[in-house]
């Protein structure tokens, strides 16, 4: 089922018997080959997650306002928005040829920046968003396996949350 690059967390695992992300999610830094690893693909995934989180909070706020309950998650949404803006501000892009798809663009934010965007909240929301991110990493890993998109990256989805949280 592919080369296992993160210690032995998934070595010999019968994937059909996985009932929970906790069966395979990496929670011990000693099991991670490179705690500094943070690829552009992982950064894309992280930005997508934060943007999706903001979208969800916005939907909660507009729905709760329509129901007469005020803006139930406005504080959380504004904090996530600030963190998304911080991430968006950290990128490089050259003036390549768009028509030929030859533009070099990359994120320049670090694991530490991602940690801030994931864990800088003052309320219980910090636990909620970090659990949601762990679940998103697990789902990304599982979907890659189900779709047989088993590349070197697949196993690294299992340690991404840990690498960000421990930065």
Task: Give dist(CA 115, CA 167) in Å, integer.
Answer: 7
How does pLDDT run along the chain (167 residues), one tens digit per residue? 233 334 444 445 566 666 666 666 777 788 888 899 999 999 999 999 999 999 999 999 999 999 999 999 999 999 999 999 999 999 999 888 877 788 899 999 999 999 999 999 977 888 999 999 999 998 898 887 766 666 666 778 889 999 999 99
Which pLDDT score, from 0 to 100, does residue 143 have?
82
Structural contact between residues 82 and 121, judged by C-beta atoms closer than 8 angstroms: no
Structural contact between residues 15 and 164, judged by C-beta atoms closer than 8 angstroms: no
Which pLDDT score, from 0 to 100, does residue 1 have?
29
Which pLDDT score, from 0 to 100, does residue 30 have?
82
Which pLDDT score, from 0 to 100, does residue 9 have?
47
Q: Where are the alpha helices (DSSP H) in the chain?
A: 40-66, 74-88, 111-119, 125-146, 152-165
Three-class SS of residue 67?
coil
Structural contact between residues 84 and 117, judged by C-beta atoms closer than 8 angstroms: yes
């Amino acid at each position: 089922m592919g080369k296992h690059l993160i210690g032995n967390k998934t070595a010999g695992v019968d994937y059909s018997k996985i009932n929970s992300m906790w069966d395979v999610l990496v929670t011990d830094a000693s099991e991670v080959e490179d705690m500094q690893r943070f690829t552009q693909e992982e950064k894309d995934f992280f930005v997508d997650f934060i943007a999706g989180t903001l979208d969800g909070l916005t939907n909660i706020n507009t729905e709760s306002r329509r129901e007469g309950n005020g803006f139930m998650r406005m504080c959380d949404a504004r904090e996530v928005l600030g963190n998304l803006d911080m991430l968006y501000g950290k990128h490089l892009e050259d003036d390549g040829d768009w028509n030929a798809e030859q533009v070099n663009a990359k994120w320049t934010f670090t694991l530490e920046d991602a940690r801030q965007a994931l864990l800088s909240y003052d309320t219980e929301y910090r636990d909620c968003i970090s659990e949601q991110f762990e679940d998103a990493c697990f789902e990304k890993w599982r979907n890659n396996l189900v779709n047989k998109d088993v590349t070197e990256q697949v196993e690294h989805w299992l340690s991404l949350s840990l690498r960000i949280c421990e930065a």
